[in-house]
């Protein structure tokens, strides 16, 4: 590990301990405030919630760095994996959003880091939900030694002047976005020696016109770090 990487990890660790102290201290402070001072109790509660968010964010970053550096690979049955992911998303996201899976072959095994793969899918789905998609469609297939995962949605189209830049860091059209989501996705995919493509446009069928935003990820089937 490079020296500056080590320093970054140490900083993250130090921050984790400090946040724990803030949370514990604030919890204790609450006990000294009488029930009659509802406003102060509410404010401390908000401070605790926000501190817990920082803690979670920090833990996620540390976990990401750990998985990324070690890059242990798992033999993933991609059909089962997508089904499990859909189950998870259905609980997390509003009921109005429909998740569809074309099934695809049931026996494709992909060698990849499961944690990072799930993180990449989560990130793509989060964007689809934020683009007001009402349907998200998965398909998987295999071509010789490569595995493809396609995730499409019918949300708002990606503006033409944005589509070539969405994988670049800090590119965002959202007031509260960081523009790091898809940058991280591409990073993960490339670490597995794969690639990712995006298409955004109108699809025409007999009856209707639909927005179609597609992310196609290609992985080598037998990836070795």
Ligand X SMILES: Nc1ncnc2c1ncn2[C@@H]1O[C@H](COP(=O)(O)OP(=O)(O)OP(=O)(O)O)[C@@H](O)[C@H]1O
Chain residues in the site for ligand X (CB under 6 A): 127-128, 131, 153, 155-156, 158, 162, 166, 171-174, 177-183, 213
**Residue 126 or 146 having the CB closest to Mg ion:** 126
189 is in the binding site of which of ligand X, Mg ion, none (Cβ under 5 to 8 A by kind)? none
Q: How far is the CB of 171 from ligand X (least distance, A)?
A: 6
Nearest to 151 by CA among 114, 182, 108, 111: 182
128 is in the binding site of which of Mg ion, ligand X, none (Cβ under 5 to 8 A by kind)? ligand X
Per the CB < 8 A criterion, the answer to whether 151 and 215 are in contact is: yes
**Residue 41 or 86 having the CB closest to ligand X:** 86
Separation CA 212–CA 157 (nearest Å): 7
Separation CA 109–CA 123 (nearest Å): 22
Residue pointed to by tokens 């026996």 = 107
Q: Residue 155: what are its φ and ψ, rounded to 5°?
A: -80, -160
166 is in the binding site of which of ligand X, Mg ion, none (Cβ under 5 to 8 A by kind)? ligand X
Q: How far is the CB of 212 from Mg ion (least distance, A)?
A: 19
Q: How far is the CB of 172 from ligand X (least distance, A)?
A: 3
172 is in the binding site of which of ligand X, Mg ion, none (Cβ under 5 to 8 A by kind)? ligand X
Residue with smallest beta-carbon separation from ligand X = 181
Residue ranges that bind Mg ion, judged by CB under 5 A: 127, 181
Nearest to 89 by CA among 174, 158, 157, 151: 151
Q: Which residues pair with 150 in a beta bridge?
A: 139, 216
Residue pointed to by tokens 């959003």 = 97
């Amino acid at each position: 590990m490079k020296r500056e990487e080590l320093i970054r990890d140490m900083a993250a660790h130090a921050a984790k301990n400090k946040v724990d102290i803030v949370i514990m201290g604030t919890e204790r402070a609450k006990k000294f405030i009488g029930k009659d001072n509802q406003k102060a109790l509410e404010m401390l509660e908000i401070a605790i919630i926000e501190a817990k968010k920082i803690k979670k964010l920090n833990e996620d970053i540390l976990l990401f760095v750990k998985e990324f550096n070690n890059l242990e690979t798992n033999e993933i049955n991609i059909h089962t994996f997508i089904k499990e992911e859909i189950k998870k998303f259905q609980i997390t996201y509003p009921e109005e959003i429909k998740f569809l899976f074309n099934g695809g072959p049931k026996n494709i095994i992909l060698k990849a880091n499961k944690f990072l793969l799930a993180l990449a899918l989560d990130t793509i789905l989060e964007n689809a939900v934020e683009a007001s998609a009402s349907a998200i469609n998965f398909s998987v297939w295999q071509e010789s030694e490569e595995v493809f995962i396609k995730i499409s949605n019918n949300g708002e189209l990606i503006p033409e002047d944005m589509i070539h830049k969405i994988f670049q860091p800090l590119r965002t059209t959202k007031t509260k976005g960081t523009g790091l989501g898809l940058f991280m996705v591409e990073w993960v995919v490339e670490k597995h020696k794969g690639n990712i493509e995006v298409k955004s446009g109108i699809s025409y069928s007999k009856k209707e016109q639909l927005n179609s935003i597609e992310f196609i990820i290609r992985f080598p089937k037998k990836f070795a770090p």
